[in-house]
Amino acid sequence: MSTATDTTIAAPAVDVTLATVIIRRFDPEVDSEPRWVDYDVEVYSTDRVLDVLHKIKWEQDGSLSFRRSCAHGVCGSDAMRINGRNRLACKTLMKDLDLSKPVYVEAIKGLPLEKDLIVDMEPFFASYREVQPFLQAHSAPHEGRERLQSAEDRERFDDTTKCILCAACTSSCPVFWTDGQYFGPAAIVNAHRFIFDSRDDEAEVRLDILNDKEGVWRCRTTFNCTEACPRGIQITKAIAEVKQAVIRGRR
């Protein structure tokens, strides 16, 4: 007689830690200044900061406000300062933070604070629109269907196509914090994407826009933007290339 064998595979153990999360809260209806509020949360080793914010909102304080959408690092809507650094909450694992100390979460800097972790993105998008971030090609498409481009020509600007407009780079820039007129790294990155696109015919227009006292020359090459970018774009390098293009023309 055969004997049944239990082939059940035990689920791997998941570590649980009690973490203290301190969030900079602001409600314009009742607060004159932002205030820090402490929350104790049980977190799993697989939790992201976004998961923890959900736990706080759903289980402890429903008034907490923050932006999020795709939760997979594509939409860029949940950029915030985590332990003093700009990051995406959906891409930051709690286990990668030092949970023996409080985790500090606050809104990104340099943009008007609306509520809690939400800022007014309009100044950011105004600069983005001003650099004309769209293809402007006046020549006829190949065989009336498409504008051809070599792999080498595409590689010239491939890095700057990765921008998700999260504002992590721009709101990490000390020049942007102190000068609300500066275009900021993200706008320059998106200008770069079209300035060096071989199919585009309006590079000079964008270069003229950025050859301004609030354009590329305001960059102080601190590399904050490059460090903050969740997509790994070499932003400081891109800004330097735009500076060279202003001087020498697109190449």
Concatenated DSSP letters for 134-154?
A: S----SPPBTTTB----HHHH
Residue 179's pLDDT is what? Answer: 82
Domains present along the chain, CATH in parentheses = 16-119 (3.10.20.30), 122-141+149-248 (1.10.1060.10)
Residues with pLDDT less than 70, the chain = 1-14, 251
Closest by CA to 82, choosing from 74, 92, 72, is 92
Please write the tens of the pLDDT for every residue from 81-107. Answer: 999 999 999 999 999 999 999 999 999
Please write the tens of the pLDDT for every residue from 38-73. Answer: 999 999 989 999 999 999 999 999 999 999 999 999
